[in-house]
Amino acid sequence: MARIRRQLTPFSLSFLDIMSCGFGAAVLLFLIIKHNIDSEMTSPESIDTPDFQSEISLLEEEIRVGQLNLVEVKNTIEEIKKKVIITEGLARNITEKIDTLNEQQNALLTANDKTKLDSLKADLVKLEQQKNNLEKKLEKTGEASRQFLGDGDRAYVSGLKMSGKHLLILVDSSASMLDETIVNILRRRNMSEDRKRQSTKWQHTIKIVEWLSAKFSLDSQFQIYHFNTRTNALVSNTKGQWLDVRDKTQLDSALKALNQLAPENGTNLGKAFIAANQLNPKPDNIYLITDGLPTQGLESSTKTTISGKDRVKIFNKAVDKIPARTPINVILTPIEGDPYAAIAFWRLSRATQGSFMSPSRDWP
């Protein structure tokens, strides 16, 4: 059977050609556009890098500085190592020199020298032992009741006799004990009690009493009277009684009362000697601390002034009240305007077989 052939028209072919060409053109255009976009995205110039670049530069600078510091540290370590080596060498040299000197010293000490050295060491040990034994005996027997050191830890030779079982101290507490000159005495006696107590002369007197009390034997008894126009015991309610030196509280109380005392009024030495004579048993030694002859007698007087000769007469009457066979040890402090005092008290101490001294301002 004959096949019927389809006829193709020119319009159909042309339409297909046009469609194919259009599609191909569209595909080609798409490929070109995509390629350009990929190229722009992957290009180094298209990346924004300023921030990364500055950070990289900063890190590179830190690395450079760190490397420089590392070099300096290494150099410092090398210098320290060199100094350590030098120091170790010096130390070895010094050690060697010390060893050499020790060897030389040992070589100089012969056998005889070593024997002498050992002997001296043994003697030193013996002396130390004797010292300790004496200190123990001193504690047992009680050579002194208190410790008193002069300025600079000096030891004084006073000549005062500190013997006896019953020791009495008489302290002048009249206004004249405020100063060495009449003008200053008149000025100070109108001051406050505290200013009176702080006067140089009175403080010197207190130190003398403290020094004397430090010399009391522990197996003795004592009493401390102060006198001006009246005579009283420093320890309240103990007048006419002896106090035990071993009772430290009583001695401390007496010295404390003396420090609280302010000199005032005139001087009646006769009443002080009468009070001393009333003690039972009688004192073995009396220590009189004063600065001059008395200004008031046992008998009342209407005189407003008193001469040097009158004071000598009052003194002689007071001496008659001294306990029999009792040494009077006089410590005379300085004052102007009393020329008869020194000779009168010196004669008194000689007559009673006591001692007399006029101490310097820095004693004791």
- Tell me: the pLDDT tens digits for 76-85? 888 888 888 8
Instruction: Please give the single-letter amino acid code of residue 154.
Output: R
Judge whether 309 lies within some domain. yes
Say yes or no to pLDDT of 152 above 50: no
Task: Tell me what pLDDT residue 77 has.
Answer: 85
What is the model's pLDDT at position 33? 76
Q: State the pairing for strand pair 221-227/243-244.
A: antiparallel
Among 38-42, 77-81, 291-295, 306-310, the least confident range: 38-42
**Full DSSP string of 146-202:** S----GGG----------SSEEEEEEE-SGGGG-SSHHHHHHHTTS-HHHHHT-HHH
23: its two tokens:
């599609």
Average confidence (pLDDT) over 70-79? 81
Residue (of 257, 297, 279) closest to 171 by Cα position: 257
Query: Is pLDDT larger for residue 34 or for residue 250?
Result: 250
User: Distance between CA atoms of 277 and 157, rounded to whole angstroms?
Assistant: 29
Question: Which residues form the domain of 318?
Answer: 151-357
Secondary structure class of 5 (helix, strand, coil)? coil
Residues 6+ apart with CB under 8 A from 321: 270, 273, 274, 277, 298
Tokens 């290494």 identify what position?
74
Query: Is pLDDT of 211 > 60?
Result: yes
Percent of the chain at pLDDT exceeding 90 = 48
Nearest to 176 by CA among 289, 258, 287: 289
Q: What is the pLDDT of residue 316?
A: 96
On the question of pLDDT at 198 being above 80, the answer is yes
Where residue 191 sits, what CATH number does that domain have? 3.40.50.410
- Residue 220: pLDDT over 70: yes
Q: Count Cβ atoms below 10 Å from residue 139 Cβ, excluding itself.
A: 10
Residue 128 in any domain: the answer is: no
State yes or no: pLDDT of 196 exceeds 90.
yes
Segment of 118-132, 217-231, 297-311 carrying the highest mean pLDDT: 217-231
Q: Is 16 inside a domain boundary?
A: no
31 assigned to some structural domain: no
DSSP code per residue over 95-158? HHHHHHHHHHHHHHS-HHHHHHHHHHHHHHHHHHHHHHHHHHHHHHHTS-SS----GGG-----
Hey, what's the torsion of the CAs at 80, 83, 84, 85, to 10 degrees?
120
Q: Position 340: which residue type?
A: Y
Task: Tell me the pLDDT band of 99, cut-offs 50, 70 and 90.
Answer: confident
Residue 202 lies in a domain: yes
Q: In angstroms, rounded to a whole number, what is the distance separating the alpha carbons of residues 272 and 231? A: 6
| 195, two tokens | 């200013």
- Flag whether 132 is in a domain: no
The reported pTM is: 0.60
Q: Residue 261 falls within a domain, yes or no?
A: yes
Confidence at 149, pLDDT banded by 50, 70, 90: very low
Structure tokens that stand for 79 in this block: 């210098």
Q: Collapsing DSSP states into helix, strand and coil, what is residue 222? A: strand
Count of domains forming the chain = 1
Task: Of 205, 289, 327, give the one whose Cα is nearest residue 255.
Answer: 205
Evaluate the CA torsion angle 259, 265, 268, 271 in order and state its sign. negative
Q: Is residue 186 part of a domain?
A: yes
Tell me which H or E stretch contains 278. none
pLDDT of residue 156: 47
Which residue is it, tokens 């008290």?
345
Query: Distance between CA atoms of 16 and 149, rounded to whole angstroms?
Result: 143
Mean pLDDT of 25-35: 72
